[in-house]
Amino acid sequence: MAVFSQQSHLRSSVVQRDTYRTAQDPQRSLNSRIPVTGSAESPVCYKDFIRASFSLKLTRILYNMALIKLSQNHRASICSTRSAKMATNDNCSSSRTDLLDKKIPRPRSLVLHSYFRSSCAWRVRIALESKGLKYTYREVNIREDIPEGKQQHTDEFRALNPLSQVPVLQVYESGELVANLTQSMAIMEYIDESFSGVNLLPKDLLQRAQCRALCQLIVSGIQPIQNLGTLNKLEPDQRQEWARYFINKGFEALERMLSDRVFVTGCCISEQVTLADFCLVPQVYNARRFGVDMSRFPKIVAVDAHLATLEAFIRAHPSRQPDCPESFRKV
């Protein structure tokens, strides 16, 4: 009992002394109250320090958790406000756009600068006819061997296409010229994406890539090598042989790329006509002009025969164009 009483007395003395010190110096840290190991204060001060440290750490944890929660709520509130503003702005913009569209109609008109027998212009005519679009036809005589030719080299036409090539598709909106489009592939894709009607490119991405591959084989690998501008650089007696060689080379690759299904579908890619068919038909026409033996390419012949029966292809044929001479109408 005496020992217990002595320990209680010591503990009470220490607490009183610490209370007095804290009152005298409020800024005293807990660390300054840690006694030297082995002193009589050790049993009491270490317990107080551990208890206070745990309480301080717990307070800090709870405080940090509260800050995090507050920050999350604040961010969520900001995001919600921003989303609401964006939705309001979108609705307002959409309403304004709809109102403008109703008040200010934008009729679109098209003018095609073409030469009746140009393969590139022919493709574009097929695309326009397939979509059922009305357009104005402007003749550009690109022949180099006649006085009335070479119209592609005039300053007026070069202002439309600095490369001096047909076709050029002029796009007007509300009577105002907005674009001079060049390059047949770019023009055909613009027509497909800008106007309703039959799709000129397959929806399936794989078939779309295959369609573009066939197009590029013709428009990049065959037609430029035998077009009028290239042939004019050769001697007259070399032109037929030159053209036949490169058309045969390209058609050999094209024949292998076409599926056997073309004998059933009648089209290059699927049952529906695509840009690949638009590129094929003018090239077959040129092949026959230059005396290519088409019996070597049964798939190509089958597709061409089927497409020749379609109304859009008939209307786009060179013999139906206003600048086609009478002597060419049976060619």
pLDDT at residue 294 tops 80? yes
Query: Tell me, what's the pLDDT at 50?
Result: 66
Residue with tokens 């035998």: 226
The per-residue DSSP string of 14-26 comes to HHHHHHHHHHH-T
H or E stretch at 109: strand 108-114
pTM of the model: 0.68
The whole-angstrom distance between residue 164's C-alpha and the CA centroid of its chain comes to: 29
The whole-angstrom distance between residue 39's C-alpha and the CA centroid of its chain comes to: 81
pLDDT tens readout for residues 313-330: 999 999 999 999 988 875
8 Å CB contact between 226 and 288: no
pLDDT tens readout for residues 168-224: 999 999 999 999 999 999 999 999 999 999 999 999 999 999 999 999 999 999 999
Q: Which of 144, 288, 306, 280 is nearest to 221 (CA)?
A: 280
Both structure tokens of 144: 């180099």
Pairing of β 168-173 and β 108-114: antiparallel
Query: Tell me, what's the pLDDT at 283?
Result: 98
pLDDT at residue 165 tops 90? yes
d(C-alpha 6, C-alpha 135), whole Å: 114
Of the listed ranges 57-61, 255-259, 289-293, 297-301, the least confidently predicted one is: 57-61
Of the listed ranges 28-32, 145-149, 225-229, the least confidently predicted one is: 28-32
8 Å CB contact between 178 and 132: no
pLDDT at residue 310 tops 50? yes
Query: Tell me, what's the pLDDT at 38?
Result: 46
Tell me the residue type at 204.
Answer: D
pLDDT at residue 4 tops 50? no
pLDDT tens readout for residues 8-51: 444 444 444 444 444 445 444 444 444 444 444 445 455 665 66
pLDDT band, very low/low/confident/very high, at 145 (cuts 50, 70, 90): confident
d(C-alpha 127, C-alpha 147), whole Å: 31
Query: Tell me, what's the pLDDT at 228?
Result: 83
pLDDT at residue 71 tops 90? no
